[in-house]
Structure 1
Amino acid sequence: MLAGYARVSTDEQHLDLQLAALTEYGCKVIFRDHGCSGVDARRPGLLAALEALGPGDTFVVWRLDRLGRSLADLIDWMARFSEQGVRFVSLTESIDTTSPTGRFMFHMIAALAEFERGLITERTRAGLAAARERGRAPGRPAALTANQLAQARALLATEPLEAVARHFNVHRHTLRRHLRRTGTG
């Protein structure tokens, strides 16, 4: 069996590009995960693919990062495929693990991908630290101002939490979280 696997992390993303490439390669069965992070090992589509694959089958992904987000994850997947006698192919990186060269290329590209992810994480952390030094708070602005929180506290003396949250057009969890942060929730 020639089986493909396509994954996107958010509901707003589309699988179209991956599906087209997998179909063009000849995959008759394509397992999918929509809105699943590559960090989560319990992706329904991927787990279904593992159950369906057997010795002599080929598992195809559009790109390595569709399968896993770290070198350790990717190596674990390769070990699983090897134990099952499953060939692995990554289209974008031109990796085919049936040859020693393919296995070597897999390890080299996976290591580079993890290195790149580490650099992105470092740059993000440095950018957040620089923003804090400039007096800017990273993330979304608070849903409620200090004045609104004071009003909410007063209203909570006579109104249920849900009604107060509706009054300020926020979810009850948001209101509770803001109150907890200010030490009144």
Structure 2
Amino acid sequence: MIFGYARVSTKHQNLDMQIDELKKYGCKEIVTEQESGANQQREQLNQLLNKLRNGDTLVVFKLDRLGRTMQQLVMLLNHFRGKGINFVSIKDGIDTSTTMGRFLYHIFGAMAEMEREVINERVKSGIASAKARGRMGGRKKSHSEKQIQGMLEMIQLGRSKKEVQEIFGVSRTTLYRYIKESEKIQD
């Protein structure tokens, strides 16, 4: 069976043009949705994906109606391929039941992989650049070394951990982490 999926991001946008194109293509059932493409939990799309079976075809007017990112699109195309579902994007000229459509599918996969690697490279070089400038990542401690030392000394002098928490405005978890860190230093 041929299913169509049409989506707009806001209620002010109109689905008519997409629906007309999907009907022209021969879609027997058309699912519509007014939801941002950034939202990966699109209820109507998820219901449609659960309905699709081996041999079915899913048709969209344009690729961006199905997914926002290359990674999201490749994930969906892999899902379709694994279940024997054909995919057609009318405007983009993609039809995975054809040789050229399958070729384009592989190009998308390679582009998604490249996108992930480029992002990873940028993150790694950003971290290296920050370290070279003496900046370390992570959260700064909310208490100075002097304050931490004061907390530890108060506990050693017999004050309860609860009292220390109240005096310094420190959470139980943080106080125990300071204690544990000091024990490691002493070992």
**Shorter-normalised TM-score: what interval?**
0.5 to 0.7
TM-score (norm 2): 0.55
Determine the C-alpha separation between the residues in 2 that align with 1:174 and 1:59. 54
Check conservation: 1:144, 1:178, Cα contact below 8 A: no
| Identity value in percent | 25
The change in CA–CA distance for 1:79 and 1:109 in structure 2 (over 3 A counts) is closer
Residue identity in the other structure for 1:28 = V
Residue in 1 that maps onto 2:110: 111
- What secondary structure sits across from 2:101 in the alignment? helix
TM-score (norm 1): 0.56
Residue in 1 that maps onto 2:27: none
Check conservation: 1:53, 1:86, Cα contact below 8 A: yes
Cα deviation for residue 112 of structure 1 reads 2.0
Q: CA RMSD in A?
A: 4.6
Determine the C-alpha separation between the residues in 2 that align with 1:99 and 1:127. 42
Determine the C-alpha separation between the residues in 2 that align with 1:183 and 1:123. 37
Residue in 2 that maps onto 1:146: 145
Cα deviation for residue 128 of structure 1 reads 0.8
Alignment: residue pair count: 159
Check conservation: 1:88, 1:96, Cα contact below 8 A: yes
Structure 2 gap segments, 5+ residues each: 20-29, 61-65
The change in CA–CA distance for 1:145 and 1:116 in structure 2 (over 3 A counts) is same
Q: How do 1:164-183 residues align onto structure 2 when only pairs under 5 Å count?
A: 164=165, 168=169, 172-183=172-183
Determine the C-alpha separation between the residues in 1 that align with 2:167 and 2:58. 53
The change in CA–CA distance for 1:138 and 1:79 in structure 2 (over 3 A counts) is closer
Of 91-100 and 110-119, the range deviating more from structure 2: 91-100
Cα deviation for residue 135 of structure 1 reads 1.4
Structure 1 gap segments, 5+ residues each: 6-14, 37-42, 69-73
